[in-house]
Structure 1
Amino acid sequence: MLKPRLIEEKMLILLRQGKVSKWFSGIGQEAISVGVTLALHSDEYILPMHRNLGVFTTRKIPLHRLFSQWQGKANGFTKGRDRSFHFGTQEFNIVGMISHLGPQFGVADGIALASKLKNLNQVTAVFTGEGGTSEGDIHEALNVASVWSLPVIFCIENNGYGLSTPTNEQYNCEHLADRAKGYGMESHIIDGNNIIEVFTKLDAIAKDLRQNTRPVLIEFKTFRMRGHEEASGTKYVPQDLMDQWEKKDPIENFKRYLIAEKILTDGIDDLIKEEFKAEINEHLDIAYAEEVITPSVENELNDVYKPFEYEAFDAESDTEELRLIDAISEGLKQSMEKHDDLVIMGQDVAEYGGVFKITDGFVDQFGKDRVRNTPICESAIIETAMGLSICGIKSVVELQFADFVTSGFNPVVNYLAKSHYRWNQNADVVLRMPCGAGVAAGPFHSQTNEAWFTKTPGLKVVYPAFPKDAKGLLATAINDPNPVLFFEHKALYRSIRQDVPSNYFTIPFGEAATLKTGETISIITYGAGVHWAIEVLEKHPEISADLIDLRSLQPLDTDSIYASVKKTGKAIILQEDSLFGGIASDISALIMEECFEHLDAPVKRVASLDTPIPFINQLEEQYLAKGRFEDELLQLVAY
């Protein structure tokens, strides 16, 4: 406990000197971080927060690497891309936080699930403050852990204030530990300032959980003697409360105990402090001597995604006519056979087979460990998938409808998308996204929301229009170690048929398919738009057009787009999504920048109305771009 305390005291000095940019103090809470970490084995994962320096020092991370991290040096853990404790390290089995707090609990679920699937008999410990427990992700994760009997120790450091908001303004129960009853979960209240109580109780709990897997909720009663972060101060805390907790300082109390037990003397205590101070100064000098980071655009771009060496599996001549939905199901099943630890998670995906029956029969072949029904909690399940990836297990999450991803938006765009860039940890996760209008499903079951994700660096977005493409691209998505959003148009599920190779095969991302070739105009589209365009071209055989099916939107095959537009001189981009802010706008801008001198007409975008998607068919038909595409195409051809 003394080592992190002395480091913190040094950091507060450096903060005032402007040598570190920010500091979140854990002074007064060291017993929790140290006691919990000592109770776990070194190969068991801990997910700390920004007040848990003791986790990092107890795991014996070299101090100069911590100092480099806090100074934004390359020898830290994020290459200067994220600050303070926003990092993880596989070397020390620590998974760092993101500022949104709540996702930590769901990621811990995934790590614990991996332990169960691999029969490792390990526990996972995860931290949050009492303020974070109000976040929805926390409640989702607690429920999932309880339903699945996951060996997670959920640690709540209740220090009385969420920044400046006291507990009586945060929740209306006496003890947060009491909430465990609602999840059917065991809980304990522990004096977080008593290192002996923390360690002995956590050690016993951890030993039991390794054999009798289940989650346990721990509420540590404690206090932080500094502000939320140094800039906020502590003026909002009554002085008598500060005085009361100062008497409970975990280090001073333990020191007195050790001296009383004749284990420690003041002389030995002074010697230990001097040794730690010397180590701190020595490692600070190492960090100071390190060169500042030299910005490199190439390095930044290269680290957004984990490198993926595409392995081609060729399609064989033996084919079978399949609907789009059947091709997806077959591709998913063959991937489950190829990757013997691949996990599928989603609402009703097990015995019921999913709402679209894509996983029908999967439980019989692969078992319920690998085909897992989930509670209705998109955030926690996406976070669980991230935890599985941390432990080297691939997963596919079925969003019942693409619209429902909004309930898990944060972990997609802030955790999955940014992890590799931040600390070199990939998210080996595929999110299946049944999407699209044309089935009279209304505003909450009909969106095609790919533009939310093509905008976010770190995600890949795939959108097939044909059964063969869907099967091959899904196999690639599962092989790819990066997060992939795989869009499946519901209206095409049972309406489009094609001869599909029966074997396992792959199709690379970033290669569009040119379905028709011509000289007059380039039609660029994807998903249902491909079939709308085919209908119009069959009606107007006089139009000599290139028809490009993008297939994947991120990465985007700009070479095929540019080559076609430079040949034809005219471009029309068709999307089902509403117009403003859609991917057609970016493709249009790219064409204007790269092909301007070859254009004989303005680039045209055709999209659905800028309204929510209506339910009744006559309104839905008016909404969709399909009804306007023919006129817009003819006008551009005649320009």
Structure 2
Amino acid sequence: MQFDRKDYSNDTLLHLYHHLLKPRMIEEKMLILLRQGKVSKWFSGIGQEAISVGSTLALQPDEYILPLHRNLGVFTGRDIPLGRLFAQWQGKATGFTKGRDRSFHFGTNEHHIVGMISHLGPQLAVAGGIALADVLDEKPRVTVTYSGDGGASEGDFHEALNVAAVWQLPVIFIVENNGYGLSTPSNEQFRFRYFVDKGPAYGMEAVQVDGNNVLEVYDTVKRLAEDLRQNPRPVLLEALTFRMRGHEEASGTKYVPQELFTEWAQKDPVENYEKWLLAEGILDEEARMRYRETIKREIEEGLKEADAAPVPTPDAARELADMYAPAGELSVDSGQLSASEEDSLTNNQPLTTDNDQLTTKPATEKRYIDAISDGLRQSMERFPELVLMGQDIAEYGGVFKITDGFVAQFGKGRVRNTPLCESAIVGAGLGLSIRGKKAMVEMQFADFVTCGFNQIINNLAKSHYRWGQNADVVVRMPTGAGSAAGPFHSQSNEAWFTHTPGLKVVFPSNPHDAKGLLCAALADPNPVLFFEHKLLYRSLSGPVPDAYYTTPIGQAALAREGHEMSIVTYGAGVHWALALADELNLDCDILDLRTLLPWDEQAVRRTVEKTGRLILLHEDTMIGGLGGEIGAWVAENCFNSLDAPIMRVASLDTAVPFAPTLEQDFLPRQRLRAAVEKMRSY
């Protein structure tokens, strides 16, 4: 192994040595503790330390790094206190995740590190979002993120690199090519020979380094970072290396030919660098032993601190509270509508006037779609850090024209057309949040959210609970059937997300709430899935205050008051229930949930206790729909108030059919009539 010191001082070379030796010595200690049962699991980076150490030390302290399992050198390179790092591995309360996650599954903004999730690939897109924030703020910074050669087979790898290339984001994508994805060798993962062959296809520079040569890694990343700060663009950096232990200790290494261990043992990054330093007279034997004694003492002190740290004490209230970032107080123009405006809103749309914060300024008749556009535009004015991302949302204005004219007002930096990369764009939203920005991601149709599902469920939803990082991201979801759009443009998929703690799910039924709830969602620091029924976009109008206001998330509203029965619903179901109540002269409560997660338990309780009869109506299919959850809660908590069995009315448990006749039979509107008549006669 050849080392080229170039113009680096002895202090720099010894600084690299100290940081290269430290993770090796920590790992050797951890492998002992693993056998003693003091550490539950370990993913060894022995043989790969030079990549983490060289790349980390080449960056500025405020530049983010997104490491993986085998990147201990990133954490030690950023001088994270070992006591807290060891407490994290032991699941102690003083760890970065308070015992909620393990190993390197955590982040720390203090040290500008965003740890991994087990799905590997999604973090690449998060790096892109962090870099985008730096570009928008005109900060000359780079972001470094890692992928293994196996993880690079995931679609997230392609999406992240493609978006970074299109947007010219200053990200260094480091592929640690160690030849195996767990036990699967490279020739069973991909057909190309080297990852540098991929760079030109993405329109980006690709560089290959000896991943076991710490000085080569350091020099290459330092040179690239200096260039990227002045000329932002992504670079694909392939580091050739080998792991000398199993994927994790329990998996062993029997699947690897012994000759590979013999070959790569000769390329050990620590031993080779140490021998070179000794041969060059930069390091002597006394100093070598002094480095080891210093690191050994630091490890022992860190273990002593971690061992003394308390184990987490179960506290259900704290656990539930930590799923969400505190929303704080929303700054709005408050006041009251005129009596005529209030009557108009109350008679035509759900409204809780004592809870909603309304403006004294005039209300204008607006379509549902225009109310959404209005709320989005005013939120862009109120929050300069808000960035909009979605397919065709810029000059074209989106397929529904909600963002028409936004580019002229806010510029293409904040109103961004995206490639067809739902996962990468949602991940970028989290990256923007890490740098203190807000993001709105528009799904062209709610059906397409499946392509970004992992990012929403496992990254956005869990981030605050795991390490205190909020995901300030709103995902807008045009949803619903009724327009003969077939199985892939009509699904009501809100229940996929109401099962996910950490998310908020909103579904307005009218223009007033559409604007107010969207403004509230964009002000909220938590991830919000905002569902908009496509059929209501241009078919429904109502008075909407012209000024900025918010409608509280988590509060239901009565669309109609009565005593005969209660219909609890949301979205288009509100209008089906209102129409049927008028037709049948039904004296009923119609409760519009408005928010599905968290849904308003007390409002449901009040209406059930008042009428004693409950119909749960939603456009979503029956099995697994939100109606089942609410019905179970009512049965458990309001059983003594019921005078009849709870009834659910929902769409057929099929995909959404294309032909209008089939679609109308699929939808629950006609079945609602039968349920109401049955409830009346019970």
Residue 364 of structure 1: CA displacement? 0.3
Residue 9 of structure 2 is matched in structure 1 by none
Q: Which residue of 2 aligns with 1:302?
A: 321
Query: Which residue, 451, 475, 480 being the options, matches 2:495?
Result: 451
Task: State how far apart, in whole Å, the 1-side matches of 2:558 and 2:298 are.
Answer: 64
Distance in 2 between the 1:502 and 1:215 partners? Answer: 43
Rounded to whole Å, the distance in 1 between the matches of 2:333 and 2:126 is: 32
Read off the aligned partner of 2:422 and give its amino acid letter.
E
Q: Which AA in structure 2 matches 1:167? A: S
CA distance in 2, matches of 1:71, 1:170: 33
TM-score normalised to structure 1 length:
0.99
Q: 2:158 aligns with which of 139, 153, 172?
A: 139
Residue number in structure 1 paired with 2:25: 6
Q: TM-score, normalised by structure 2?
A: 0.93
How many aligned positions are there?
638
**Which structure 2 residues correspond to residues 369-408 of structure 1 after superposition, within 5 A?**
369-408=413-452
Match runs of 1:481-630 below 5 Å: 481-541=525-585, 543-630=586-673
What is aligned with 2:333?
313
Aligned-residue offset at 1:109:
0.3
Deviations 1:2-49 (Å, cap 9, x if unpaired)? 000000000000000000000000001111000000111000000000
Matched, 1:192 2:211: yes
* 2:11 equivalent in structure 1: none
Per the alignment, residue 411 of structure 1 pairs with: 455
Question: Partner of 1:217 in structure 2?
Answer: 236
- The whole-number CA distance in structure 2 between the counterparts of 1:289 and 1:436 is 55
Query: Do the aligned residues in 1 keep the contact of 2:54 with 2:218 (CA within 8 Å)?
Result: yes
In 1, the alpha carbon distance for the partners of 2:333 and 2:162 equals 40
1:154 to 2:197 alignment: no
Structure 2 residue aligned with 1:286: 305
SS of the equivalent of 1:154 reads strand
Q: State the SS of the aligned residue for 1:138.
A: helix
- Does residue 325 (structure 1) correspond to residue 369 (structure 2)? The answer is yes
The equivalent of 1:634 in structure 2 is: 677
Please state how far the C-alpha of 1:505 moved relative to its aligned partner. 0.6
Cα distance in 1 for partners of 2:37, 2:162 equals 43
Would the aligned equivalents of 2:122 and 2:455 in 1 still touch at CA under 8 Å?
yes
Structure 1 residues 230-263: Cα deviation after superposition (integer angstroms, max 9, x where no partner): 0011111111110100000011100111011101
Cα distance between partner residues in 1 of 2:426 and 2:25: 38
RMSD, aligned α-carbons: 0.7
Of 413, 434, 441, 2:485 maps to 441
CA shift, 1:515, in A, is: 1.4
AA in 1 matched with 2:371: A
Q: What does the per-residue CA deviation read over 1:129-170, in whole Å, with 9 as the maximum and x for residues that have no partner?
A: 000100001100100000000000000000111001111111
Q: 2:144 aligns with which of 125, 130, 145?
A: 125
> What residue is the counterpart of 2:82 in the other structure?
63
Q: 1:336 is matched with which residue: 376, 380, 392? A: 380
How many Å separate the matches in 2 of 1:570 and 1:27?
65
- String of CA shifts for 1:193-224, please: whole Å, max 9, x gaps: 01111111111000000000000000000011
Rounded to whole Å, the distance in 2 between the matches of 1:313 and 1:10 is: 59
* Partner Cα separation in structure 2 for residue 290 and residue 469 of structure 1: 48
Q: CA offsets per residue over residues 512-552 of structure 1, 9 Å max, x none?
A: 111111111011000000000011001011x2101101111
Deviation of 1:313 (Å): 3.5
**Contact 2:327-2:524 at 8 Å conserved across structures:** yes
**Given the alignment of the two structures, is residue 349 of structure 1 paired with residue 393 of structure 2, yes or no?**
yes
Structure 1 position 563, deviation (Å): 0.8
**For residue 591 of structure 1, what is the amino acid of its counterpart?**
V
What are the superposed Cα offsets for residues 162-204 of structure 1, whole Å, 9 maximum, x if unpaired? 0011111110001011111110010001000011111111110
Could you tell me which residue of structure 1 aligns to residue 291 of structure 2?
Answer: 272
Q: CA deviation at 1:292?
A: 1.5
Q: Which residue of 2 aligns with 1:477?
A: 521
Contact 1:570 1:601 in 2 (8 A): yes
Residue 338 of structure 2: aligned partner: none
Equivalent AA in structure 2 for residue 431 of structure 1: V
Question: Which of the residues 111, 114, 127 maps onto 1:95?
Answer: 114
Amino acid across the alignment from 1:464: P
Question: Do the aligned residues in 2 keep the contact of 1:129 with 1:156 (CA within 8 Å)?
Answer: yes
Shift of 1:478: 0.3
**Cα distance in structure 2, aligned partners of 1:366 and 1:447:** 32
1:252 aligns with 2:275: no
Deviations 1:556-610 (A, max 9, x none): 1111111111111100010000000000000101111111011111000000000
Contact residue 310 and residue 508 of structure 1 kept, 8 A: no
